[in-house]
């Protein structure tokens, strides 16, 4: 992992047609479900980022055979169960990886010790441990349910669990544990979150019942179901596509197309918000790709205006607020983002780091406990100055957001720990350079 700083300088327009790596959420799930299944699972377009590679290594530790057969092409031979790992399972930077794997592992009679990098060791695991405990799992952890922790699984009973926060990771952990619990497991989510686990469980042959009502979504699963290996085609990650698309919207004379981007409505809140801000964002060639809708998204440089983002949209764009805040910095008027306290427990406290980074770049930001407001600079007399070095706390999305800002600011922006970008978006720098972006 590179430790040298990386800088983005304002320069020419960005132009070109690109593809971004495979979706991170679907990539993690394809490996985990493949390892839980009987038989062979083949994956094409797997995101070969550090987070997902950590999950691949973890699945080997739990007994699956996991092989790379070509770029993005992987084969997983599951045994229909997890076995006890012979060593500590290190999930690196990946919250999705560790939380989903803990859920899956809890269903088996084994002990497993999990750890992660400095960021993951600070993140709350109690949100997953609490429902797993209700089902019968036990654990020994650091203070506050922090990693490293040892989980003992097996003998689980199905549970009815109402999610106390909008979290697809918690929902998924409970459903994966429920697969190997006795009786029925029911997860009720007051706000719908990304549904990749439910969709993929069905693709692997499980029966999952989903009902939508005004008070939320309920997912039901009978325990004791076995999964059968299948083929997974991973679509382009909308959370990664967000960076080149916003870069084009804020850099004069730019036009960028990202092909094959997943358009699952529980993931596209950023695109809806950008269109409300006046972005010239068009989606063409909508098609089905392996059970998910994908399309080619074109962004052209656009004058943007500030908006109030509806808090109920947060689950559909929770990872995109950092790059939205960058777009908001170049808009006219303020952009108000509320109901996003979850941002404080991501790879870093993303509200605090975006507020600090944007302020250092000359942008007005008002931070609140559960949100922030960015005062757009367009039409005002305070440009987005840039000319700063940002401490990213090892957070890939904080790094990429500030580099995108640097492409359109008055002066360059430098980030530390750029090697962390490879957790979700390997090849980001080369891709942006190919569009004409001066990053290096």
Q: Kind and range of the H or E element at 78? A: strand 73-79
Task: Judge if the upstream peptide bond of residue 148 is cis by omega within 30 degrees of 0.
Answer: yes
Distance (Å, whole) CA 283 – CA 81: 41
Q: Which is nearer to ligand S3P, 316 or 363 (CB)?
A: 316
Write each residue from 318 to 347 as x if it is in contact with ligand S3P (CB under 6 A), else as -, in one continuous string. Answer: xx----------------------x-----
381 burial type by CB count under 10 A (0-12 exposed, 13-18 middle, 19+ buried): exposed
Distance (Å, whole) CA 51 – CA 28: 8
Q: Which is nearer to ligand S3P, 172 or 185 (CB)?
A: 172
Write each residue from 8 to 27 as x if it is in contact with ligand S3P (CB under 6 A), else as -, in one continuous string. Answer: -----------------x--
CB of 58 to ligand S3P, least distance (A): 15
Q: How many CB atoms lie within 10 A of CB 226?
A: 15
CB of 169 to ligand S3P, least distance (A): 4
The number of C-alpha atoms within 13 Å of 123 and in the hemisphere containing its C-beta is 29
Distance (Å, whole) CA 104 – CA 176: 5
CB of 194 to ligand S3P, least distance (A): 6
Q: Which is nearer to ligand S3P, 125 or 135 (CB)?
A: 125
Q: Which is nearer to ligand S3P, 194 or 217 (CB)?
A: 194
Q: Which is nearer to ligand S3P, 193 or 373 (CB)?
A: 193
State the Cα angle at 310 between 263 and 334, rounded to 5°: 110
Using DSSP's 3-state secondary structure scheme, residue 248 falls into: helix
- Cβ neighbours for 310, distance < 8 A, ≥ 6 positions apart: none
416 is known as an active-site residue: no
Distance (Å, whole) CA 377 – CA 403: 18
Q: Which is nearer to ligand S3P, 93 or 257 (CB)?
A: 93
**Interacting residue with ligand S3P among 96, 254, 264, 414 (CB under 6 A):** 96
Q: Which is nearer to ligand S3P, 194 or 313 (CB)?
A: 194
Using DSSP's 3-state secondary structure scheme, residue 86 falls into: coil
Catalytic residue among 319, 349, 395, 416: 319
The number of C-alpha atoms within 13 Å of 8 and in the hemisphere containing its C-beta is 30
> Does the footprint of ligand S3P cover residue 55 (CB under 6 A)?
no
In the bound state, the residue with its beta carbon closest to ligand S3P is 25
The C-alpha R_g of the chain, in whole angstroms, comes to 21
Q: Which of residues 145-204 bind ligand S3P (CB under 6 A)?
A: 167-169, 172, 193-194
CB of 114 to ligand S3P, least distance (A): 16
Q: Which is nearer to ligand S3P, 111 or 344 (CB)?
A: 344
Distance (Å, whole) CA 166 – CA 178: 19
Q: How many CB atoms lie within 10 A of CB 18?
A: 17
- C-alpha distances (whole Å) from 3 to each of 285, 421, 424, 430 are 40, 11, 17, 17
- Cβ neighbours for 420, distance < 8 A, ≥ 6 positions apart: 1, 93, 392, 394, 395, 396, 399
Catalytically active residues, by annotation: 319
- Give me the residues that bind ligand S3P (CB under 6 A), please: 25, 96, 167-169, 172, 193-194, 318-319, 342
């Amino acid at each position: 992992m590179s430790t040298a700083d990386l800088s983005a300088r304002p320069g020419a327009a960005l132009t070109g047609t690109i593809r971004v790596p495979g979706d991170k959420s679907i990539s993690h799930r394809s490996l985990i479900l493949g390892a839980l299944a009987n038989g062979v699972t083949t994956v094409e377009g797997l995101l070969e980022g550090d987070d997902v590679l950590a999950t691949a290594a973890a699945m080997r530790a739990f007994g699956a055979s996991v092989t790379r057969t070509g770029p993005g092409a992987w084969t997983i031979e599951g045994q229909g169960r997890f076995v006890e790992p012979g060593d500590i399972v290190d999930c690196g930077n990946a919250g999705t990886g560790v939380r989903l794997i803990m859920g899956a592992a809890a269903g088996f009679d084994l002990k497993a010790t999990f750890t992660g990098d400095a960021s993951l060791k600070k993140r709350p695991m109690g949100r997953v441990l609490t429902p797993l405990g209700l089902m019968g799992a036990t654990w020994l952890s650091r203070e506050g349910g922090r990693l490293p922790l040892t989980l003992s699984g097996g003998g689980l009973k199905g549970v009815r669990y109402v999610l106390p926060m909008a979290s697809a990771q918690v929902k998924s952990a409970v459903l994966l544990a429920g697969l190997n619990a006795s009786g029925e497991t029911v997860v009720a989510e007051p706000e719908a979150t990304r549904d990749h686990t439910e969709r993929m469980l069905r693709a692997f042959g499980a029966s999952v019942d989903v009902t939508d009502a005004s008070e939320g979504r309920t997912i039901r699963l009978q325990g004791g179901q076995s999964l059968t290996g299948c083929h997974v085609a991973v679509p382009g990650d909308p959370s990664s596509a967000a960076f080149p698309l916003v870069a084009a919207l804020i850099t004069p004379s730019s036009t960028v197309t990202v092909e094959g981007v997943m358009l699952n409505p529980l993931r596209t809140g950023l695109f809806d918000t950008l269109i409300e801000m006046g972005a010239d964002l068009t989606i063409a060639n909508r098609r089905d790709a392996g059970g998910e809708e994908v399309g080619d998204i074109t962004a052209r440089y656009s004058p943007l205006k500030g908006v109030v983002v509806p808090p109920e949209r947060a689950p559909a764009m929770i990872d995109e607020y950092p790059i939205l805040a960058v777009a908001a910095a170049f808009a006219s008027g303020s952009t108000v983002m509320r109901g996003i306290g979850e941002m404080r427990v991501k790879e870093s406290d993303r509200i605090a780091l975006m507020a600090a980074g944007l302020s250092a770049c000359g942008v007005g930001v008002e931070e609140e406990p559960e949100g922030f407001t960015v005062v757009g600079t367009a039409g005002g007399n305070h440009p987005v100055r840039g000319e700063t070095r940002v401490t990213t706390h090892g957070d890939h999305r904080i790094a990429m957001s500030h580099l995108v800002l640097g492409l359109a600011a008055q002066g360059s922006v430098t980030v530390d720990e750029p090697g962390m970008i490879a957790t979700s978006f390997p090849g980001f720098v080369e891709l942006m350079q190919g569009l004409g972006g001066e990053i290096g």
